[in-house]
C-alpha cells in the first residue's frame, strides 16, 4: 500500500493510504503544514499547549478534519497516558475531546462501530496506528510509543475489536503512520531490556549503536500485530520518520520536546 501526502483544497497537507478509502472509511495522518500556529508549533499543531492559542488549535483541528472529510464536532479523542487501555466509543461519546483536551480518560486506543464518529489520536514521534475491519464494519486508532508498544497496545486494540465487534484478526487492515524511525530512535539498555523481556523476536527490532540501541518501533508493532493474527500483507507502513523530516512533521525527539503535535483520524463512513 502506498502512503500519499497531498494538499487539500483548504491548504492542509496530510497523508493517507488510498486503499483504505476503498474500505468504507475516511482517514488521514496530519503533517505540520497548513495551520495557524506560530513559533515551535508552526503551523498545524493539534494539541493544546501552554504557549499556543486555544483558538489556533481548535481551528487547526477543524481544518484537518475538513481536509480529511470528517466532522470535528462528532470526533472523539483519548486523554493519552502511554498506557494500554482501549476505549469503546458509543454514539453518546460523539464530540468528547473534539474541541478540548478532555477526551476519554486514560485511553490511548479507541475503537468504534458507529459510522460518522471520527476517532482521533495525537502524537509527535510515537507510532499512530489506524485499524479497519471492512467485514464487521469497525475502526480503531491507537497511539504506541515505546511503553505502549511493550504493553502490546496494537495487539490489544485488535483483540478489543474482536471482543466487542466480532472482528477476525485476519480481516483487519492496519496502517502505521509517520513516527520516529529506526534511523533516529536511540534508546538505552533500560528500555531495550523491556523489549527483550516482552518479545522473543526483539533482536529483529533493535540494532546496537555504541552504548545505546536503535529501536525499530515500526517493526515491533508490525510483529506484534502478526502475532495477534493479522496477515503481514494487511499491514501498511508509511516509512516516514518524523525526526528526519521536521519541515514536514513535528518531532518531540528532534525538537527537544518544544514542538506541536500531529494527529491521525479515522471514521466509518455513513451509509457504508
Ligand atoms: Zn529518522
What's the structural domain count of the chain?
1
Distance 185 CA to ligand 1 centre (A): 7
* Rounded CA separation 173/232 (Å): 10
Whole-prediction pTM value? Answer: 0.98
Which of 29, 253, 240 has its CA nearest to residue 120?
Answer: 29
Give me the CATH number covering residue 250: 3.60.140.10
pLDDT, tens digit (0-9, with 9 covering 90-100), for 15-48: 999 999 899 999 999 999 999 999 999 999 999 9
Rg of the chain over Cα atoms, rounded to whole angstroms, equals: 17
Distance 76 CA to ligand 1 centre (A): 30
In-domain check, residue 131: yes
Distance 148 CA to ligand 1 centre (A): 20
Q: What is the mean pLDDT of the segment spanning 109-135?
A: 97
Residues 16 and 4: beta-carbon distance below 8 Å: yes
Distance 180 CA to ligand 1 centre (A): 6
In-domain check, residue 223: no
In-domain check, residue 205: no
In-domain check, residue 153: yes
In-domain check, residue 260: yes
Q: Check whether 196 has a pLDDT greater than 60.
A: yes
pLDDT on residue 209: 96
In-domain check, residue 45: yes
135, burial (CB in 10 Å: exposed 0-12, middle 13-18, buried 19+): middle
Distance 142 CA to ligand 1 centre (A): 21
Distance 240 CA to ligand 1 centre (A): 8
For all residues of the chain together, what is the average pLDDT? 96
Distance 114 CA to ligand 1 centre (A): 36
Instruction: Tell me which residue range forms the domain holding 79.
Output: 4-179+229-268
50-151-263-265 Cα dihedral, nearest 10 degrees:
-140
Which of 111, 229, 230 has its CA nearest to residue 173?
Answer: 230
% of the chain exceeding 90 in pLDDT: 94
In-domain check, residue 214: no
% of the chain exceeding 70 in pLDDT: 99
In-domain check, residue 206: no
Amino acid at each position: 500500500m502506498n502512503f500519499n501526502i497531498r494538499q487539500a483544497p483548504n491548504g492542509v497537507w496530510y497523508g493517507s493510504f488510498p486503499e483504505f478509502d476503498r474500505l468504507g472509511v475516511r482517514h488521514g495522518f496530519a503533517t505540520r503544514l497548513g495551520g495557524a500556529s506560530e513559533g515551535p508549533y508552526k503551523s498545524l499543531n493539534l494539541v493544546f499547549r501552554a504557549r499556543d492559542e486555544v483558538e489556533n488549535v481548535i481551528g487547526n483541528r477543524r481544518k484537518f478534519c475538513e481536509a480529511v472529510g470528517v466532522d470535528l464536532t462528532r470526533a472523539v479523542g483519548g486523554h493519552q497516558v502511554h498506557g494500554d487501555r482501549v476505549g469503546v466509543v458509543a454514539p453518546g461519546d460523539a464530540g468528547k475531546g473534539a474541541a478540548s483536551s478532555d477526551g476519554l480518560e486514560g485511553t490511548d486506543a479507541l475503537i468504534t462501530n458507529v459510522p460518522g464518529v471520527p476517532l482521533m489520536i495525537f502524537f509527535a514521534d510515537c507510532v499512530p496506528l489506524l485499524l479497519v475491519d471492512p467485514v464487521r464494519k469497525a475502526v480503531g486508532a491507537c497511539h504506541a510509543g515505546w511503553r505502549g508498544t511493550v504493553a502490546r497496545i496494537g495487539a490489544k486494540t485488535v483483540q478489543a475489536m474482536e471482543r466487542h465487534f466480532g472482528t477476525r484478526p485476519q480481516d483487519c487492515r492496519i496502517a502505521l503512520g509517520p513516527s520516529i524511525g529506526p534511523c533516529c530512535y536511540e534508546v538505552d539498555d533500560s528500555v531495550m531490556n523491556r523489549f527483550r523481556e516482552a518479545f522473543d523476536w526483539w533482536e529483529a527490532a533493535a540494532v546496537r549503536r555504541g552504548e545505546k540501541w536503535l529501536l525499530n518501533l515500526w517493526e515491533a508493532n508490525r510483529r506484534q500485530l502478526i502475532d495477534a493474527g493479522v496477515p503481514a500483507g494487511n499491514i501498511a507502513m508509511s516509512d516516514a520518520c518524523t525526526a528526519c523530516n521536521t519541515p514536514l512533521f513535528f518531532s518531540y525527539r528532534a525538537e527537544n520536546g518544544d514542538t506541536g503535535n500531529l494527529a491521525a483520524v479515522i471514521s466509518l463512513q455513513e451509509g457504508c
